[in-house]
Amino acid sequence: MLEIMLPAFAASVVLVGIHAYLGLHIVARGVIFVDLALAQIAALGAITGVLFGVGLHTTGSYLASLAATFAGAAVFAFSRGRRTTGGMQEAVIGIVYVVSAALSVMVLDRLPGEAEHLKGMLVGNILFVTWPQAAKTAALYAAVGAVHYLLREKFLAISFGDGPAPSRVRLWDFFFYALFGIVVTSSVELAGVLLVFTFLIIPAVSAMRLASSLKSRLFLAWGLGALASVAGIASSTAWDLPTGPAIVCAFGALALVSFAAGRRSPSPPRPPFP
For 16, the domain range is 2-261
pLDDT at 108: 81
Asked if residue 243 lies in contact with residue 236, where contact means CB atoms within 8 angstroms, the answer is yes
With respect to residue 120, please indicate whether it lies within any of the assigned structural domains.
yes
Band (183; pLDDT cuts 50, 70, 90): very high
Count Cβ atoms below 10 Å from residue 10 Cβ, excluding itself. 18
pLDDT at 216: 94
Answer yes or no: is pLDDT of 271 > 50.
no
Tell me the CA end-to-end span of the chain in Å, nearest whole number. 42
pLDDT at 188: 84
pLDDT at 148: 96
With respect to residue 252, please indicate whether it lies within any of the assigned structural domains.
yes
pTM of the model: 0.85
Q: What is the CATH number of the domain that holds 27?
A: 1.10.3470.10
With respect to residue 79, please indicate whether it lies within any of the assigned structural domains.
yes
Answer yes or no: is pLDDT of 268 > 60.
no
With respect to residue 50, please indicate whether it lies within any of the assigned structural domains.
yes
Across all residues in the chain, what is the average pLDDT? 85
With respect to residue 171, please indicate whether it lies within any of the assigned structural domains.
yes
With respect to residue 268, please indicate whether it lies within any of the assigned structural domains.
no
With respect to residue 273, please indicate whether it lies within any of the assigned structural domains.
no
Band (147; pLDDT cuts 50, 70, 90): very high
Question: Around 67, how many Cα atoms within 13 Å sit in the side-chain half-sphere?
Answer: 11
Considering only residues 271 and 210, tell me which one the structure prediction assigns the higher pLDDT. Answer: 210
Question: How far, in Å, are 80, 86, 155, 218 from residue 83 at the CA level?
Answer: 8, 10, 19, 30
Task: Dump pLDDT digits (tens) for 7-60.
Answer: 989 999 999 999 999 999 999 888 888 888 888 898 889 888 888 888 777 888
The dihedral built from the CA positions of residue 183, 187, 193 and 196, taken in this order, carries a sign that is: negative
pLDDT at 21: 96
Band (244; pLDDT cuts 50, 70, 90): confident
Number of structural domains (the chain) is: 1
What mean pLDDT do residues 94-112 have? Answer: 86
Considering only residues 258 and 79, tell me which one the structure prediction assigns the higher pLDDT. Answer: 258
With respect to residue 76, please indicate whether it lies within any of the assigned structural domains.
yes
Three-class secondary structure of residue 113 per DSSP: coil
